[in-house]
Amino acid sequence: MAKYVLYEGENGNMLFTKQEIVNSKPDLLKPFDKKQSTWTCEAENDNSAVTLLNAHMMARSAQAK
């Protein structure tokens, strides 16, 4: 299992990737004011992680209505 993280910026910027990639390339977070992830999950592979992200975004969208 890998840990995936979501970062969200002020201008609608988003970064969703493996935590290990952020750890090895911290410059990826330069466009983001807040260097803390807004959501995390664990998944077997990238496809599973994207499925979890989609479910998270849909649930968040439904709560906002």
- Spans of all domains in the chain: 2-64
Residue pair 6/37 in contact by the 8 Å Cβ criterion: yes
* Model-wide pTM > 0.85: yes
pLDDT, tens digit (0-9, with 9 covering 90-100), for 6-60:
999 988 899 999 999 999 999 999 989 889 999 999 999 999 999 999 999 999 9
Cβ contacts of 37 within 8 Å, gap of 6 or more = 5, 6, 7
